[in-house]
Amino acid sequence: MLEADPDLAEAVPRQARTAAIARCVAATLRLRAGSWPKAGVPGVGGGIGLLVLDGLLIRRVGIDGRFGAELLGRGDLLRPWQGEDEPPTIAIKTSWRVLEPTFLAVLDERFAAETSRYPQLTGRFVSRALERSRQLAVNMAIVHQPRVDVRLHMLMWHLASRWGIVGQDGVSLRIRLTHSVLADLAAARRPTVTSALAELTRSGLVESIPEGWLLPGHPPGELLRLSAQADTVSRSGSAGRRA
């Protein structure tokens, strides 16, 4: 497990790392591209959850025909069954879709028991969960921008902060995001997204490439401000919990 995710291994003190690598072994789960009913993962309920080792998924949440979405990839922790048995106060539809073949580690109760020997790993898992919350906060701020072309430009740079590759021509976002997926992530209608992407392309702010998208230039200033605000909120929340 720690060999598959070196960031986790680095959290363990060097003198204990070899033993931790040998002990922290997890079952795995492979998902094909397509809809994911979240079934068939027994024995994880009391454990940590599922950790994405490779691939890409989208979680869609809809209310009254309007949807929001969250893009998840390598390093993200999932508990897709959590809260599913609780009676909803409002009618919410939730679905998961595998955008690219995905490889998951099953962090069940046995794995949780082994990792309890290494509190640094617990801290790293909590950090992953908080980072996912931070990413969601930035995305929420983005979708409140009134213009869809601005939302898309900021959204792509936001995704590039995780999955972008810097090159001579700009930052390439090598994930295949259809107009429908972008519409869910930007909280917009697909035809509007298509028109906005055309405008961004004409303006030279976005370029379609075979691997995904190319972002020339620099991130928009608004995105940097939103990220800083999300960091401030996260730190304030942590301070409140410590108090």
DSSP bridge partners of 173: 164, 213
Residues of the chain with CATH 1.10.10.10: 144-239
pLDDT band at 232 (very low <50, low <70, confident <90, very high): low
Counting residues of the chain whose pLDDT is more than 70, the rounded percentage is 85
CA dihedral 79, 81, 46, 7 (to 10 degrees): -10
Examine the pLDDT at 39 and tell me if it is beyond 70: no
Mean pLDDT, all residues of the chain = 85
Predicted local confidence at residue 7, as pLDDT: 93
Predicted local confidence at residue 214, as pLDDT: 94
Predicted local confidence at residue 65, as pLDDT: 74
pLDDT band at 95 (very low <50, low <70, confident <90, very high): confident
- Determine the CATH number of domain 144-239: 1.10.10.10
Counting residues of the chain whose pLDDT is more than 90, the rounded percentage is 56
Among 42-56, 136-150, 177-191, which is the least confidently predicted range? 42-56
Report the C-alpha gap between 112 and 10 in whole angstroms.
Answer: 18
Distance between start and end Cα atoms, the chain: 34
Percentages of the chain per state (helix, strand, coil), in multiples of 5: 45, 25, 30
Examine the pLDDT at 45 and tell me if it is beyond 70: no
pLDDT band at 228 (very low <50, low <70, confident <90, very high): low
pLDDT band at 66 (very low <50, low <70, confident <90, very high): confident
Neighbours of 85 (CB within 10 A): 6
pLDDT band at 241 (very low <50, low <70, confident <90, very high): very low
Q: What is the pLDDT of residues 8-24, one digit of tens each?
A: 999 999 999 999 999 99
Q: Determine whether domain 6-129 maps to CATH 3.30.930.10.
A: no
Task: Answer whether 96's CB lies under 8 Å from 59's CB.
Answer: yes
Residue with the larger pLDDT of the pair 239 and 174: 174
Examine the pLDDT at 138 and tell me if it is beyond 80: yes
Report the C-alpha gap between 175 and 99 in whole angstroms.
Answer: 9
Residues of the chain with CATH 2.60.120.10: 6-129
